[in-house]
Each structure stands twice: as structure tokens, then as C-alpha cells.
Amino acid sequence: GGWDVSQGVQMTWSKGDIWQACIQLPAETVFHYKYVLCDSERDGKVGEVMWQEGSNRLLAVGKEGAHEIRDFWGLGVDDSPPAL
């Protein structure tokens, strides 16, 4: 999304408080990213926004093929995203 929240990848929730998204990225590139919580307004525009704290995350994409990335909101497995 180029740090534009309205252009970001929307994730879907699944059982066990797991959020998922499937995206295609060019092979052998590096991406910086963060998670952000967005509260939608009725007209579909982005309302209240909360960016993940801390440094940007870094993803180095290897050769072509499927890759599964597992992350957490905070620094450890017990860090759940806060409610908006």
C-alpha cells in the first residue's frame, strides 16, 4: 500500500485469532512493512487508525514460489493487537 492505509492489504480473520492474507510479491526483493488496525466508517472510508509500534518489519523474498510468513502483533506470541 505504499504506507497509504487505504491501499493496504486487507486481512481476513480465522478461528484462533489468526489473521491471513495472500499476496504476490516479486522474487528476490526486500519489503518493509507494518500491521495497522483500521476502523471503517459507514461510507467505506478509513476511520480511526492504529499502527503497530516499533521498527518496520523486513521481508526478504527469495526465489519464486510460495512462502508462508508467520508474525505477531508485538514482540512475542502473547501480544494480541489492541481493540480500537
Q: Give the DSSP per-residue string, 6-53.
A: GGSPPPEEETTTEEE------TT-EEEE--EEEEEPTTS-EEEEEEPP
Identify the weakest region by mean pLDDT among 5-9, 58-62, 71-75: 71-75
* Predicted local distance difference test score (pLDDT) of residue 84: 41
Joined grid coordinates for residue 36? 495497522
Distances (CA, A) of 38 to 30, 51, 59: 25, 9, 22
- Residue type at position 46: V
Tens of pLDDT, residue by residue over 10-31, are: 899 888 888 899 988 898 899 8
pTM: 0.71
Cα dihedral across residues 12, 13, 15, 19: positive or negative: positive
Tens of pLDDT, residue by residue over 61-82, are: 888 777 788 888 765 545 555 5
Residue bearing the bigger pLDDT, 77 or 33 = 33
